[in-house]
């Protein structure tokens, strides 16, 4: 039993609404919902509610609101910023979407998919693929992150460069508001200019305005041909020049363009057994490029070979491997996708998920690397990310053998060092992971004045008692 139990009348009402499978109160069952993926936050909760559909969710939220109980929406619990973890008071309930897992419809005429919030991104992708379609949102956590979570955080990922963020893919939404009322925005329309676009307000709101329960997601035709290459380059500038070379030939063919520093690649190669470097020797940096086309022809291969051939001749690329089969393609992608896991295994790390204009990336990386190395001698600066979108995960891994706690005690100094440089280049302190609880302290200086005030007014209008995911996005008090 939780050490901060729910008031008995609320407990009984929730039990009769959700049944035993939908109401977890034993600490042994709730602990996993109170710890984040990075193991930075260990909160407590009075219970975990697992509604099976929108109606149950709405009734549960209304009951909690009536009793003044704070609520923390949670999907796959892969937040990088502690967004889905309750605080330490033990007063809140976690509302998990993990039982809302129905794929309701795949519409071939409109190229859409209607899904409940708890469908994992991977399950949604697989269902679209089985019908010859593609859900073009791809992130390394897609096996756990779910549709509600990716919309609530406006997730980006590997295919943003071509298809946009989650926001661009969300045509319709249904959400339970903090008082338990249901906001039905389940339209499938690509054109609909009828007042404020409320669905866009919910996308990226990180669970602070309501719980997304169902969504209509835009799909694409499934690519018939794909070409994938891992290239060794001298630095971020060369990677960007290679990106520009592909963009000049055929911007619409670029499905993904990723950057990996030599340091972050070396961590993956040494700490993840299944991910050796598939090139003859290590390089200072790498670019992963994927081209895709709904046509089944050789033109993509020709494009890839022509651009890479020229880049090798010009010295822009020093070595490259092209995937010759789907297995090889997946192996190349696995190397990219294991970056977060490898850094987790390397010890404590401080993540700076930042964006700057493309042209500023090389100077940003050089300057931020120098400043961080001066701040903490021996620090492992391991940037990687979606360079085609101007998005770099400028991650800092503790010096080998250092004390993890002592390293993390300096997290604000490290984050501020990096973001001061980001600010200078006109960037953002969070490109895709959101604010959560980790970065609330940055909001006043980055989004202060009328911008933050407007956000506060919206929050107060929809959630006057601050019950929906308190302590996230906004500093408390
Ligand atoms: P959770 O972690 O459960 O929740 C995240 C936030 O959304 C919380 O604020 C929560 O309260 C809220 N929320 C969750 N569900 C709902 C709902 N139904 N309604 C309203 N609010 C809700 N992110 C990227 O954008 N791009 C990447 O490339 C990327 N790569 C990652 C790789 C790894 C290995 C990991 C661990 C994370 C990565 N992330 C990435 C971050 C994370 O996976 C995304 O933020 C993801 O969108 C979160 O989905 P989730 O279901 O796990 O949400």
- If you measure from the C-alpha of residue 153 to the centroid of ligand 1, how many angstroms do you get, rounded to a whole number? 6
pTM here is 0.96
**In ligand 1, which atom is closest to the CA atom of 340?**
34
**Phi-psi category of 315—alpha, beta or left, where left has phi over 0 and alpha has psi -120 to 50?**
left
Q: Is a pLDDT exceeding 80 seen at residue 467?
A: yes
Dist CA 202 CA 436 (whole Å): 15
Specify whether 211 is located in the same domain as 109.
yes
**Domain identity same for 146 and 57:** no
Q: Verify that 63 and 168 share a domain, yes or no.
A: no
Q: Is 364 domain-assigned?
A: yes
**Helix residue ranges per DSSP H, 285-424:** 299-314, 326-337, 339-345, 361-375, 404-408, 411-424
Q: Per the domain annotation, does 121 fall within a domain? A: yes
Residue 2 lies in a domain: no
Question: Are both 119 and 182 inside the same structural domain?
Answer: yes
- Atom of ligand 1 at shortest range from CA of 469: 11
Query: pLDDT tens digit string along 128-158?
Result: 999 999 999 999 999 999 999 999 999 999 9
Examine the domain organization and report whether 244 and 289 are in the same domain.
yes
Distance CA 234, CA 147 (A): 38
State the distance from the centre of ligand 1 to the C-alpha of 292, rounded, in angstroms.
26
What is the position in ligand 1's atom list of the atom closest to the CA of 166? Answer: 25
| Contact status, residue 161 vs residue 386, Cβ threshold 8 Å | yes
- Give pLDDT, residue 296: 87
Please check the confidence at residue 4 and state whether its pLDDT lies above 90.
no
Same domain, 447 and 427: no
In terms of residue numbers, what domain contains 213? Answer: 103-221
Q: Report DSSP state, residue 398.
A: P
Most ligand 1 atoms within 8 A of CB, residue of 56, 79, 338 to mutate: 79
Tell me the pLDDT band of 333, cut-offs 50, 70 and 90. Answer: very high
Residue 214 sits in the same domain as residue 246:
no
Ligand 1 atom at shortest distance from the alpha carbon of 158: 28
Q: How far is the CA of 84 from the centre of ligand 1 (A)?
A: 8
Q: Is residue 453 part of a domain?
A: yes
Query: Domain containing 38 — which CATH number?
Result: 3.30.43.10
The percentage of the chain sitting over the pLDDT mark of 90, rounded to a whole number, equals 97
Q: Which of 376, 113, 358, 367 is nearest to 259 (CA)?
A: 358
* Rounded Cα–Cα distance for residues 338 and 333 (Å): 9
pLDDT band at 1 (very low <50, low <70, confident <90, very high): low
Among 45, 66, 96, residue at a domain's last position: 96
CATH number for the domain that contains residue 324: 3.30.70.2190
**Looking at the structure, do residues 84 and 129 belong to the same domain, yes or no?**
no
Whether 448 and 365 map to the same domain: the answer is no
For residue 202, the ligand 1 atom closest to its alpha carbon is 20
CA distance 451 to 429: 16
Whether 3 is covered by a domain: the verdict is no
- Indicate the range of 41-50, 242-251, 288-297 predicted with least confidence: 288-297
Ligand 1 midpoint to CA 76 (Å): 7
Residue 3 clears pLDDT 80, i.e. is over it: no
Ligand 1 centre to CA of 418 (Å) is 23
Whether the complex's predicted ipTM surpasses the cut of 0.95: yes
Give tens-digit pLDDT for 399-415. Answer: 999 999 999 999 999 99
pLDDT band at 448 (very low <50, low <70, confident <90, very high): confident
CATH for 396: 3.30.70.2740
Atom of ligand 1 nearest to the CA of 157: 28
d(CA 11, CA 5): 8
Claim to verify: residue 333 and residue 374 sit in the same structural domain: no
Ligand 1, atom 47, lies closest to the CA of 150
Distance 304 CA to ligand 1 centre (A): 33
Is residue 247 domain-resident? yes
1 in a domain, yes or no?
A: no
Both 275 and 305 in a single domain?
yes
State mean pLDDT over 275-299: 95
What is the residue-averaged pLDDT of the chain?
97
- Distance of CA 374 from the midpoint of ligand 1 (Å): 33
Q: What's the gap in Å between 78 CA and the centre of ligand 1?
A: 5
Backbone dihedral angles phi then psi of residue 433, each to the nearest 5 degrees: -80, -15
Considering the domain boundaries, does residue 135 fall inside one? yes
- Residues 323 and 231: beta-carbon distance below 8 Å: no
Nearest CA to ligand 1 atom 36: 78
- What is the DSSP-derived secondary structure letter of residue 177? -
Please indicate, yes or no, whether residues 403 and 353 belong to a single structural domain of this protein: yes
Q: How far is the CA of 241 from the centre of ligand 1 (A)?
A: 31
pLDDT-above-70 percentage for the chain:
100
Structural domain ending residue among the three candidates 203, 221, 239? 221
Cβ < 6 Å from ligand 1: which residues? Answer: 37, 72-80, 83-84, 97, 117, 139-141, 144-146, 148-150, 152-153, 155-157, 206-207, 211-212, 340, 432-433, 436, 469, 472
Total structural domains in the chain?
5
Give 44-80 pLDDT, tens digit per residue: 999 999 999 999 999 999 999 999 999 999 999 999 9
Which residue minimizes the CA distance to atom 38 of ligand 1?
141
| Domain closes at, from 304, 321, 340 | 340
């Amino acid at each position: 039993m939780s050490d901060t139990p729910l008031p008995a009348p609320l407990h009984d009402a929730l039990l009769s609404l959700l049944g035993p499978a939908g109401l977890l109160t034993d600490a042994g069952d709730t602990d996993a919902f109170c710890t984040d993926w990075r193991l930075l936050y260990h909160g407590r909760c009075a219970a975990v509610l697992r509604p099976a559909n929108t109606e149950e969710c709405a009734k549960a939220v209304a009951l909690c609101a009536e009793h003044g109980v704070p609520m923390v929406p949670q999907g796959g619990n892969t937040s990088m910023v502690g967004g889905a973890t309750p605080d330490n008071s033990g007063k809140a309930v976690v509302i998990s979407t993990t039982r809302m897992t129905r794929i309701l419809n795949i519409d071939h005429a409109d190229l859409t998919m209607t899904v409940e919030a708890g469908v994992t991104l991977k399950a949604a992708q697989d269902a679209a693929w089985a019908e010859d379609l593609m859900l073009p949102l791809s992130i390394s956590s897609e096996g756990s992150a779910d549709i509600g979570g990716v919309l609530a955080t406006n997730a980006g990922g590997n295919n943003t460069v071509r298809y946009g963020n989650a926001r661009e893919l969300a045509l319709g939404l249904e959400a339970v508001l903090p008082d338990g009322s249901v906001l039905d925005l389940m339209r499938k329309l690509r054109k609909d200019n009828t007042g404020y676009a409320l669905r866009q307000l919910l996308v990226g709101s990180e669970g602070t305005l309501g719980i997304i329960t169902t969504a209509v997601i835009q799909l694409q035709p499934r690519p018939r041909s794909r070409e994938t290459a891992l290239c060794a380059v001298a630095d971020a500038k060369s990677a960007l020049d290679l990106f520009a070379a592909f963009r000049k030939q055929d911007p619409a063919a670029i499905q993904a363009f990723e950057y990996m520093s030599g340091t972050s690649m070396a961590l993956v190669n040494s700490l993840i057994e299944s991910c050796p470097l598939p090139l003859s020797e290590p390089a200072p940096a790498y670019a992963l490029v994927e081209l895709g086309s709904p046509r089944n022809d050789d033109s993509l291969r020709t494009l890839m070979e022509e651009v890479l051939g020229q880049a090798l001749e010009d010295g822009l690329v020093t070595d490259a491997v092209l995937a010759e089969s789907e297995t090889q393609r997946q192996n190349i992608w696995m190397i990219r996708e294991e970056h977060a896991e490898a850094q987790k295994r390397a010890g404590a790390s401080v993540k700076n998920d930042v964006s700057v204009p493309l042209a500023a990336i090389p100077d940003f990386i050089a300057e931020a690397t120098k400043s961080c190395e001066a701040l903490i001698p021996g620090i492992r600066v391991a940037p990687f990310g979606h360079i085609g979108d101007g998005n770099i995960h400028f991650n800092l891994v503790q010096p080998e053998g250092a004390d993890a706690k002592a390293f993390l005690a300096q997290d604000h100094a490290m984050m501020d060092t990096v973001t001061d440089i980001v600010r200078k280049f006109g960037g953002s302190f969070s490109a895709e992971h959101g604010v959560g609880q980790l970065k609330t302290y940055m909001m006043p200086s980055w989004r202060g004045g009328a911008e933050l005030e407007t956000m506060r007014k919206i929050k107060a209008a929809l959630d006057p008692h601050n019950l929906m995911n308190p302590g996230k996005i906004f500093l408390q008090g």
